[in-house]
Structure formats: C-alpha cells, structure tokens
Structure 1
Amino acid sequence: MTSTAQIVRYGELKPCRTAFIDAHTPGSDQKENFTIIGGGVSESPDQYVHIADPIGFNIGAAGQPPKCRNSLHSHRTAEVFFVAKGRWRFFWGRWGDAGEVVLQEGDIFNIPTGIFRGFENIGTDYGMIMAVLGGDDAGGGVIWAPQVITDAAEHGLVLSEKGKLYDTKKGQKLPEGVRPMALLTQQELAAFPEPTTLDVVPHYVARYWDMMALADKQPARVIGENAMLRDKPGFEIDFLTRGSIPDAPYKVEVNEVVMPVRGHWHADVDGDAYTLAPGDTCLIKPGAHLRLAPSMTGESSLYRIRATKDPAGPTWKP
C-alpha cells in the first residue's frame, strides 16, 4: 500500500547546477536548484525530481552562495518564496530596478505574477529559499528578460523554442528545424507591469515575527481566503506555531505539505511517527489522519500548504 506521507529531508536534497539558461553567466553560475514535489520549471534534463506526483502545486528550492543572483524572469502562475536560511534581496521590473525588498529567515513573499523578478543572496553564508509554484505544470515554464537570453548565449547556453537547454561548450546544438527561444518584442515587454516597492511590499510580503504574533492562538492565514497577503493562486498557506497547532488528529482533505521553519516537529500520520526538522518537506495525501506537535520546548513554527480549486494563473492587479 502506498504511504500517505512522503518526506524529503533537507540533508538529502539533490541539486541541479545546470537547471536554467543563466547557469554559465557570471554572477549566476553557482546556483543550485531543487525540484522537491512536482515537475517544476527546470530547463535541464539533469534536474532531479524527488516526488513527481502532481498535487495541484509544485515545491522547489534555490540554494546560492553569497553574492550569487537569479536572473530576471517571469512566471504565468504564482511563485511564493520563504527564506529557510540566510538573507535575501528580491528585486523586480524590466531591468530589476522598479522595486526591491530584503527578506530574513522565515519571511514569505508572494511575488505578483506577470512581473520580471530576480533574487540574490546578500548574506554571509550559503542561503536557501523554498518555493511554491502554482499549478501542476507551473505555467509551462519560465519567461526570461531578453538580456538574460542574450547574455547566456555569450557563455554557451542556448534555449530552444520548446524550453530545452543546449550547451555549446559541450558540443550541443539545436536540432535541425528547432529554433532558439524568441526574444520578447518591445510590444510584449510593455505589457509587463513595473510596480513600485510601495505597490508590492505591503500586500505581498509577510514578516516572520508578525506571523509568530498572529499565530499565537490560531493558525495565521498567509495566502488564501481572508489572508494576510493578496491573491488566491491555486493553493493556500497557513503559518502555525506551538500555540496554534490542533491538539487532536485531523483528517487531511486535500494534498497537504508541511515545512518546518523553526524547531523540530513530531508528525503522526495514520499511526506512523516521523520527526521533521527545518528544511524538510512532508507531503500528506488526502484521507490520512495527521497530528502535529513540537518535539521539544522552545520556538516552533511551520508552513502548511494546501491545494485549492482557485485558478493558478495570473493574479496581479495594479
């Protein structure tokens, strides 16, 4: 019988260093990308998928050393990040100068769909951000700012019109009849919004300590119906602490993922006991009975993500 719980341990994550078109571009060439649940949006056949099950959304992660950045891109569905480790700067706009915000460990950012965005590790050690992407196919891939594609070609990577990477440094080339990914036209680029920091941060960013305060007695609704952040992007996210975890087991009604932020947690799934640590990802299938509890005293918090029937597509409204 298939287990109703599947766990991907932080220490067992398998990185891909050639996942995207900027993998050779100086400043972005030390990135590590992780596809934890779902197919993700990697452009490389080298990407390892830990749990391939379609659950209505995708879970991934990006790990980067200090001063390493992820190039400007956009998605057709939601992209939500929370910082697992380190200090990160997120920036957005056609050239990355329309707005920015700095996030610390535990902070969460529901990046508006339909804008170019990038991020960099501005901490002093290797950092990790965990990602939730809307939809089973995550919108069909990544839309790159034109300069990213041009820069990548100068360093040996070419993206086909079908979203597959070819490395000319390895002697690879586009197959006959396959064209390179077309650059966005000026008319197409004009359709991408340029919201300011004041447009975005108050409505799309939640700080860890604010959520800790709100989740003192009941779960803090972060994304979803009547939540802290705008949009209902095909999944909902709650933030739970020691004081807001249900005492009794509850039946899982839809695909559910729990991801500890601080502290160690006990998870009892249909009588099977697991211990979860920060950075671990636990998928619980519908029909299971789940009970969560911190395993020791001290600060404890986690994110819980559930699939919803809301459209996973574009949600940004000026």
Structure 2
Amino acid sequence: MTPPEMEARIVRYGDLKPCRTAFIDAHTPGSDQKENFTIIGGGVSEAADQHVHLTIPHGFNIGAAGQPPKCRNSLHSHRTAEVFFVLKGRWRFFWGRWGKAGEVVLEEGDIFNIPTGIFRGFENIGDDYGMIMAILGGDDAGGGVIWAPQVIEDARAHGLVLSEQGKLYDTKKGQALPAGVGPMPLLSEQELANFPEPTTAEVVPGYVARYWDMVALSDRKPVLVIGETGMLRDRPGFEVGFLTRGSSTTEMHRHDRPSVLMPVKGHWRVVWEGNAHYPAGEATLAPGDTMSVPEHLDHTAFPSMTGEAALYHVVATGDPAGPTWTA
C-alpha cells in the first residue's frame, strides 16, 4: 500500500499536465504541436500557465517533451546540463548555430548528455506520438533558455514576443510588453562565436549511451551512466544510474539527498521502510512514471513482473550545475 505522503511524490505518466505554450516557438509552424511537461522543479518554461507537479528542490529539474511525428523543438542552449532519454519513439537530435554541425538518432531507452553551451534541437522522426524525459542541472535550471536569433525572429512573425526578463507575451491574445520592458535582445555575432560547433564524431562517443549497451553492462550490478567515473564521464551536478532485472536487489539503501526513479521498461516495485516523516509502504511504477524518494529513507526497487525491465536513477552530487566537465 502507498501512503498518501509518498503517493504525493509520485507523478504518474497518465496524470502529466501538458503546456502547449511553454516556449517562444509555440506558434512557429513545425513546432506548434509540441507539449512540454514540468515534473520536478520549475524548469525553464517561459509561460505563466506551466503546471509544476513537484516543487521539492532536488538539485536538478525533471521535465519531458511530447511531440507528434515531424514536430521539432527549436535551436536553443542552456547554461547548465541537459540530459534526455527516450521513453517513446525515435528522435533526431541536432546541434550548432543552424542545426547543421552534427546530429544523432536515439531509440527508446537511449540517453544523451548534451554538451553545455551548444545550440541544440530535436524532432520526433517516428510514426507515432513520442516522449522524451529531461534532466536539467540546478534547482533554477540555469535561469532560462538561450535561443538562437532566428528562433526569436520567427516567433515574433507568428505573434510571440519574449521579454528581456524571459517572460512570454502573445500578441494574438492582445498581450504586449509592459511599459519600460524591452524584448529579449538577439545575440550578437561576437556572442554567437562563443557557441561551439562540434561534429557528430566529436559528440556522440562521449555523450551518448545506447540502451542495449547499458542493459549488457548492468546485468549483475547497476551501471553509472553519467558521473565522474560513468560511461559518460561528467560532473553536471547530478549522477544518472541504470539498473535492470539482473542488477536490482531487495537490499535497502538510502541517500543523503532526494533521489528520483524513472522506469523506461517494465513495472517496478518500490519498497521503503518508515521513518518519522514517511510511513513504511510500497508503490508500483510504470514507464513514464517519476518518483521522488526522500533523503535518508531506506528503500529499494525491483521488477514486479516478468519480462524486460530497466530503470533510470538520478541523484544530485553537490557539484556546480554549470558547464559540464570532461576529462
């Protein structure tokens, strides 16, 4: 049985509340059908009506993007880490000032730790509605989104204006910038020169981990996917682990920070011991569910049914959430 105190820390896939006006490209043809979800933390939404499911600080943010086929997310950058794993569908990620410096296609379960400080975008190239889950570094996610200049110009042509404070105004609804507030300035050519243009060969080996490689490596013990000693060596302010049926255990463990469980395949049973704040109990998670486990709470997770099972685990490390680290 799941006590209400813990059920309140679980965001079920079927309960996710989308925002269709979260970002400046919400009216731009080709991007106007996407849905954005803010699961843990405030994220980087530019819209006032974005629903935040869990506001508990974790040291990182969890979000998601759902898009029909051929829908894309426009070129942007962040000051902190941005990590995606594919929950449903087939996705193409591309990067560079014009999105032509490099690209990679991700299948279900694959994960991409996008290098900080490059313009990036993504599109659903599958045949059905797709979903990618996102981890953003820091509790404030770096203070917002940095858009490629052409994205801001295209958005203005379709009625959306971003203020210099990062708030979105829809001229189609009669909204206008407040008195004394200017539009978000476009990056200058000098500023744009500071955004790297790495090739596919430079990015993919150190920043992409494939689902079946992780499955093979986690057949007996969980694998650290993102971390100082992980498959993708980085210190973005959090670690991402991966476990399967073979590496799951009924042995309890705890963390000194809140952690997050995110199934990608199969159903997972999470069991925890009680403490002064949370009664003992258990819960079952399905792909797309997100569970926040409180700090200092003994818990474990293991598959509850036969068949394929895989789960991502995220916990903050206390490292600066700024530019990502490379060896």
TM-score bin, normalised by smaller chain: over 0.9
Per the alignment, residue 296 of structure 1 pairs with: 305
Q: Which of 102, 105, 111 pairs up with 2:114?
A: 111
Say whether the 8 Å CA contact 1:4–1:269 is kept in structure 2: no
1:310 counterpart letter in structure 2: D
Per the alignment, residue 293 of structure 2 pairs with: 284
Q: Return the alpha-carbon distance in structure 2 between the equivalents of residues 189 and 317 of structure 1.
A: 22
Aligned pairs for 1:32-51 (under 5 A) are 32-51=35-54
Per the alignment, residue 234 of structure 1 pairs with: 237
1:81 counterpart letter in structure 2: F
How far residue 251 of structure 1 moved from its aligned partner, in angstroms, is: 2.1
1:281 counterpart letter in structure 2: T
Q: Identity percentage over the alignment?
A: 73
Q: What secondary structure, in the 3-state scheme, does the structure 1 residue paired with 2:86 have? A: strand
Q: What secondary structure, in the 3-state scheme, does the structure 2 residue paired with 1:213 have? A: helix
1:298 counterpart letter in structure 2: G
Gaps spanning 5+ residues in structure 1: where? none
How far residue 297 of structure 1 moved from its aligned partner, in angstroms, is: 1.2
Name the stretch that deviates more: 307-316 or 38-47: 307-316
Per the alignment, residue 224 of structure 1 pairs with: 227
How far residue 2 of structure 1 moved from its aligned partner, in angstroms, is: 8.7
TM-score, normalised via structure 1 length? 0.98
1:317–1:247 Cα change, 3 Å: closer
Measured against aligned partners, the alpha-carbon deviations of 1:267-317 in whole angstroms (never above 9, x if no partner) come to 112221101000000000101111211101111110000011111101266
Q: Return the alpha-carbon distance in structure 2 between the equivalents of residues 316 and 252 of structure 1.
A: 23
Per the alignment, residue 254 of structure 1 pairs with: 257
Aligned pairs for 1:256-271 (under 5 A) are 256-270=259-273, 271=280
How far residue 141 of structure 1 moved from its aligned partner, in angstroms, is: 0.1
Q: Which of 3, 26, 30 pairs up with 1:27?
A: 30
Q: Return the alpha-carbon distance in structure 1 between the equivalents of residues 152 and 308 of structure 2.
A: 44
Say whether the 8 Å CA contact 1:19–1:33 is kept in structure 2: yes
Q: What secondary structure, in the 3-state scheme, does the structure 1 residue paired with 2:14 have? A: helix
Q: Return the alpha-carbon distance in structure 1 between the equivalents of residues 282 and 324 of structure 2.
A: 38
Question: In the alignment, is residue 314 of structure 1 matched against residue 323 of structure 2?
Answer: yes
Say whether the 8 Å CA contact 1:115–1:194 is kept in structure 2: yes
Gaps spanning 5+ residues in structure 2: where? 274-279
Q: Return the alpha-carbon distance in structure 2 between the equivalents of residues 204 and 119 of structure 1.
A: 15
How far residue 177 of structure 1 moved from its aligned partner, in angstroms, is: 0.2
Q: What secondary structure, in the 3-state scheme, does the structure 2 residue paired with 1:3 have? A: helix
1:128–1:166 Cα change, 3 Å: same
Per the alignment, residue 3 of structure 1 pairs with: 5
Total equivalences in the alignment: 318
Per the alignment, residue 200 of structure 2 pairs with: 197
